């Protein structure tokens, strides 16, 4: 599922960067903030559309550009949320910005989650760490259309309880009908009420009907490489498992080759890919 720029959209030129004001900044965890952005140009604000799982190139004037998933609800496109972890040069500089400052946005890019194909099926969502960011929009999308999907199981793992983002969202999601939310932490503290261990251990706690299950996965690639075989042992075919992948991105439109993975460019063929298509290249550098 993707939103493809068309000639009558403001995105006809994928190199154009649109200014957006930071209207809110929420501290999620140490070194991780969610920025709520509002396009300065009203036309752009009205016409911006995205699909869950797509990403924007977020530009800090005079510093550089980074690929960041869109976290917000696609049914409320006027609010554009990005959760950004401080990693290096650009993200460190973004972290210094405050409400009222401006960023540049280019996008949306890439293929999102297969939410049309998932209709009528059970959905299992498996995420680790900041990997929950690209699925937030998908979860909100499903819950706005709850009757069109079967059961929803959200399995999320963190290293420590301090790394748990979106606490209120997880609590709100578990209140939806036919929905399970299972959390785990590698290292617990005294406040942790959930499972202790890695996220793949949660698979044992959920029942799945392999014939009608679609899996959405995002997190460290090691989690996918270890987790997918367990799901397949339980009868879920590789063709029903979708993963969102990260590679260094520059152009965002399949021209520069930075994000190449085998025959694919993850900026335009991904970041969401069907597992069987990318399995040979997962975990390999420079392919």
Ligand X SMILES: Cc1cc2nc3c(=O)[nH]c(=O)nc-3n(C[C@H](O)[C@H](O)[C@H](O)COP(=O)(O)OP(=O)(O)OC[C@H]3O[C@@H](n4cnc5c(N)ncnc54)[C@H](O)[C@@H]3O)c2cc1C
Is 259 a binding residue for ligand FES by CB under 6 A? The answer is yes
Judged by CB under 6 A, the stretch of 74-82, 111-119, 223-231, 243-251 that binds ligand FES is 243-251
In 3-state terms, what secondary structure has residue 232? Answer: helix
Question: By CB under 6 A, is residue 252 in contact with ligand FES?
Answer: yes
State yes or no: residue 265 binds ligand FES (CB under 6 A).
yes
Distance of closest approach, residue 39 Cβ to ligand X, in angstroms: 19
- Give the residue among 273, 287, 271 at the shortest CA–CA distance from 67: 271
> What does 85 bind: ligand X, ligand FES, none (CB cut-off 5 to 8 Å by kind)?
ligand X
Residue 66 interacting with ligand FES (CB under 6 A): no
Return the CA Rg of the chain.
18
Based on the shown chain and the rule CB under 6 A, indicate whether residue 267 belongs to the binding site for ligand FES: yes
The minimum distance between CB 246 and ligand X, in angstroms, equals 4
> What, of ligand X, ligand FES, none, does residue 222 touch, CB below 5 to 8 Å by kind?
none
CB of 245 to ligand FES, least distance (A): 12
Indicate the burial class of 198 (C-beta count within 10 angstroms; 0-12, 13-18, 19 or more).
Answer: middle
Q: Does the protein bind ligand FES through residue 249 (CB under 6 A)?
A: yes
Q: Which is nearer to ligand FES, 54 or 179 (CB)?
A: 54
Residues in CB range of 96: below 8 A, 6 or more apart:
none
Region binding ligand FES by CB under 6 A among candidate stretches 97-105, 144-152, 259-267, 272-280 = 259-267
Which tokens hold the place of 29? 């965890």
268: its two tokens: 């335009």
Specify whether the CB–CB gap between 139 and 154 falls below 8 A. yes
DSSP class of residue 191 equals T
Binding site for ligand FES (CB under 6 A): 249-252, 254-259, 265, 267
């Amino acid at each position: 599922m993707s939103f493809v720029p068309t000639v009558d959209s403001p995105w006809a030129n994928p190199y154009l960067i649109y200014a957006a004001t930071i209207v809110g900044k929420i501290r999620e965890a140490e070194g991780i903030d969610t920025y709520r952005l509002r396009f300065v140009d009203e036309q752009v604000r009205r016409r911006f559309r995205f699909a869950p799982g797509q990403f924007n190139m977020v530009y800090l004037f005079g510093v550089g550009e980074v690929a960041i998933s869109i976290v917000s609800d696609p049914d409320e496109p006027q609010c554009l949320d990005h959760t950004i972890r401080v990693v290096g040069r650009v993200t460190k500089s973004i972290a210094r910005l405050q409400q009222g400052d401006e960023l540049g946005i280019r996008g949306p890019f890439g293929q999102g989650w297969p939410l049309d194909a998932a209709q009528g099926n059970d959905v299992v969502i498996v995420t680790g760490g900041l990997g929950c960011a690209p699925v937030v929009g998908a979860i909100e999308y499903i819950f706005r259309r709850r009757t069109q999907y079967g059961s929803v199981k959200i399995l999320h793992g963190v290293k420590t309880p301090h790394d748990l983002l979106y606490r209120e969202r997880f609590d709100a999601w578990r209140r939806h009908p036919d929905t399970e939310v299972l959390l785990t932490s590698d290292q617990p503290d005294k406040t942790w009420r959930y499972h202790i261990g890695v996220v793949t251990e949660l698979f044992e706690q959920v029942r799945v009907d392999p014939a009608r299950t679609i899996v959405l996965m995002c997190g460290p690639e090691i989690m996918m490489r270890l987790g997918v075989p367990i799901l397949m042992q339980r009868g879920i075919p590789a063709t029903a498992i979708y993963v969102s992948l990260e590679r260094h991105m520059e152009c965002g439109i399949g021209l520069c080759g930075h994000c190449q993975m085998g025959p694919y460019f993850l900026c335009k063929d991904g970041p969401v890919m069907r597992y069987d298509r990318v399995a040979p290249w997962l975990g390999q550098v420079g392919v």
